[in-house]
Structure 1
Amino acid sequence: MGITRNIVAAGALTALAVGATTALGTTASAAPNVTPQGVCGSAYKTVNSAPIGSLGTVYLTYDSSNGKNCVATIRTNPGKATYVSTFIYVPDTGTSAGDDGNYTSYAGPAYVYGKGHCVSWGGTIANVYVSVDNSNCAALKEHRVTGIR
C-alpha cells in the first residue's frame, strides 16, 4: 500500500507540474512584450514619452541616421481590441502621419522627417488621450494636454 500511495503522489505531482508549466507558458505568450523599438525599428531611440492615464504610453522615437521620428502608442495591458491611435505632426513642414483602429496592443508606427524641427505628437487609448505640442526643440517649451473624450 505504501508503494501505491507513492506512485499516486508522484503521478499527482507530475500532473500538477505539467499543468502549471502549461498555464504559465500560455500566460507568458498571451502578453507580448511590445517596445517602441519593436514597433518603430531597432535604430529608433526613445527621446520622449507621455503616459495615457494608466492605459498605456505614447512614445516619440528618433533615428539620427535618417532624421526621422516615429511614434507608437502601446497599451499597458494588451487584450481585447479597443480603440488605439497615434499621431505625429511637423508644424514647419505641414507633414503628418498617424495610425488608428481597434487594436489589442499598440498603434503605429507613424513616421515623419523631423530633423531640426519641432514636432507635435500624441495618442489615444479608449477614451483617454494625450497631446504634446512643440516637442523636442530648443526654441519652444512643449505643451502637454491629457483628457477624456
Structure 2
Amino acid sequence: MNEPGTGATSRVLGGRLWAGGAASACVAALVAVVGILIARGLLDIPVLAPRRAGTWGGASTLTYALVSAAVALAATALLHLLLLTTPRARAFFGWIMVLLTVIAVVVPLGLSAALDARLATAILNLAIGLSVTVTLSGVAGSAIVRDTAPTTYPYP
C-alpha cells in the first residue's frame, strides 16, 4: 500500500495477522465458556439452555464457544480485507465490530425468555464482541509494517 504524499509504503504481514486471529478465536471461545460457567454455575441463570442442563449445558456450550471462535476468524478475514483495500482500515474495522456487537447485544433482549436469561446472554455477547474487537485491533497494529523510504531500484 502506498501512503500518498509521503513516499512511504506499508504492507500487511498476513501470517502475523492470522496467527493473531487464531489467538483471538481462542480468547473468544474461552470468554464464551467462562461467561456461561458464571451465568449457569454461579448465578444459576439458564443461559442458552434450560436449568436442567446443568452448569455445562451439554452441546450448547461447545456450540456457543465454537461459534464465538468462528466469529473471531470471520472478523480476522474482514480486517485483512480492510487492511489491504481501505484507507483508515482500523477505524472502519472498529466501527463495523462495535455495530455488530450492538446487534448481538440487542437481539437476545427481544426474545421471549426470562429477563435474567436475556440479560445474561446480552452481557455474554457484549464480552465476546469486545474481546474480539480489542484483540484484533491490537493485532492489526502489529501486522502492518511501514517502510519509511520508498524502494528504488538502480537502473543500468
TM-score of the superposed pair, with normalisation by structure 2: 0.23
Structure with greater strand percent = 1
Say which structure is richer in helix. Answer: 2
Q: Which of structures 1 and 2 has the bigger CA Rg? A: 1
